[in-house]
Structure 1
Amino acid sequence: MEHHSSSHVPRIKVLIADDNPFVREGLRIILSTYDEFDVAATVGDGKEAVEYCRHHEVDVALLDVRMPNMNGVEATKLLCEQTKTKPLILTTFDDDEYILDAIQYGAKGYFLKNTDPERIREAIKAVYHGQVVMQEIVMDKIKSNLKEETEAAPKIDKSLFTERELDIMALIAKGLSNKEIAKQLFLSEGTVANYITSILDKTGLQHRTQIAVYYLTGKVG
């Protein structure tokens, strides 16, 4: 297959925020090898990240969870409120309690720091194009963390939703795909998608992962 130069395609402006200079620099070097990215800046904490994105155009911000002055979760919240930048969380395995908050605040996904560069590249591109990227391994960890809570009654205001919507939310919280939900409830996938749209409208949430967290914690961010 012939590779044409992608100079006419606008490059995705990326900001990297991590308090570890090794990780920061490593990511910068990796992303700079791909011609679809333009690393706009590298910063050491969430505060600098928000400050930079408020004054410069940044498409996607890679945010470490734990940083001094302002962590990646707080930075996610502010970036979503004050800028058009899409936050993508960089995480290690022991950050899962923060990940839930980050998703609630509008993070567009997350991946582990030791992820293969090609997957990081795909994740940034997907987020840039409006998708939500959740690495399965992290999703599974969240699900197992929430398993205990799932047994308890959901913490949401049930009066807001129809019986059918509550059924669907419960299944999303168990990690089922639309296809699996459709099969279990004898509905078409289109109908399930319509219910999910209705749930998102009622809650003001943006995607199904947020529905799962909301159903289990009662928090909308």
Structure 2
Amino acid sequence: MSKTRILICDDQPLIRSSLELILGTDENLEVVGTAADGEQAVAATRSLHPDVVLMDIQMPVLDGVAATARITAASAAKVVVLTTFDRDDYLFDAIDAGASGFLLKNTEPEMLLAAVHAAAGGQALLSPEVTLRIIRRGTGEDRYASAARPQLDPNDQRVLDALTARELEVLTRLASGLSNTEIAAVLSVSEATVKTHLSNILAKAGLRDRVQAVVFAYRARLIPLTEV
């Protein structure tokens, strides 16, 4: 089994060294390079072909959001954003740029490793708090428990009508926070089948990734907002 190739991008040498040490505890991961700013990260991604890029936000020359946008547009590398700043604008800008995960730098090492593996496997990893904030923006609702929900958008209804019963079931499980493996176990199907269903869902709904699929599922009322 080949190792997942990681590129670390942070302007602080101590942070780069610390991340490299943490990632080195997992024998299935390999740090193939580091970068001190966004421009270096873009160039290193082009030359080293990492599977996952750990990306800081605030950096000189080119910031992490702009670097993420360039990397995701030009390569298959997945970007997991790491920052000390728990700010909505950074979060939304990073997700819009194509990031597959968003974590604070004070996260536990186990969560960091899980985020890297999730991103490498084509899954997004966001904390429940982050997911809630994304859903709030995507649905335009700030107070889920009490706000009156607007009429379902006709485009959303057309997408729902185009999904098969099994695709709706997979999407609902995804929005509930289950991984591909967990969805497969619940539905008694293979993980490959789940991935196929998810690909079909994204294609039919015109969505980029799992994060957008979760927002759509809540907006389309496939799962109660009180369950977030």
TM-score clears 0.5: yes
**1:100/1:213 contact within 8 Å kept:** no
Residues 51 and 136 from structure 1, CA distance in 2 versus in 1: closer, same or farther, beyond 3 angstroms? same
- Which structure 2 segments of 5+ residues have no match? 162-170, 177-185, 188-193, 218-228
Note the 1:1-221 alignment, pairs <5 A.
9-143=1-135, 147-148=141-142, 160-162=155-157, 165=160, 178-179=172-173, 200-201=202-203, 204-211=206-213
C-alpha offsets along residues 151-187 of structure 1, whole Å, 9 cap, x if unaligned?
7999xxx564436749xxxxxxxxxx825989xxxxx
Query: In 2, distance between residues paired with 1:77 and 1:71?
Result: 10
**1:47/1:75 contact within 8 Å kept:** yes
Query: In 2, distance between residues paired with 1:147 and 1:67?
Result: 33
Which stretch has the larger CA shift, 12-21 or 94-103? 94-103
**2:10/2:56 contact within 8 Å kept:** yes
- The one-letter code matched in structure 2 to 1:40 is V
Residues 67 and 149 from structure 1, CA distance in 2 versus in 1: closer, same or farther, beyond 3 angstroms? farther
- The one-letter code matched in structure 2 to 1:81 is A
C-alpha offsets along residues 179-219 of structure 1, whole Å, 9 cap, x if unaligned?
5989xxxxxx99xx99987773356322342256689xxxx
Query: In 1, distance between residues paired with 2:83 and 2:109?
Result: 15
RMSD in angstroms over aligned alpha carbons?
3.7
C-alpha offsets along residues 90-129 of structure 1, whole Å, 9 cap, x if unaligned?
1234332122122222211121211111121121112111
- Name the SS for the 1:89 alignment partner: strand
Query: In 2, distance between residues paired with 1:180 and 1:70?
Result: 34
Runs of 4+ deviating beyond 6 Å: 149-154, 193-199, 212-215
Query: In 2, distance between residues paired with 1:181 and 1:113?
Result: 25
- Name the SS for the 2:8 alignment partner: strand
- The one-letter code matched in structure 1 to 2:157 is T
Query: In 1, distance between residues paired with 2:117 and 2:197?
Result: 28
Residues 179 and 210 from structure 1, CA distance in 2 versus in 1: closer, same or farther, beyond 3 angstroms? closer
- The one-letter code matched in structure 1 to 2:31 is V
1:73 is displaced (CA, Å) by 1.4
- The one-letter code matched in structure 1 to 2:128 is E
Query: In 1, distance between residues paired with 2:132 and 2:156?
Result: 27
1:64 is displaced (CA, Å) by 0.9
Query: In 2, distance between residues paired with 1:115 and 1:94?
Result: 12
- Which structure 1 segments of 5+ residues have no match? 1-8, 167-176, 183-188, 216-221
**2:78/2:99 contact within 8 Å kept:** yes
Percent identity (aligned) = 34
Aligned length: 189
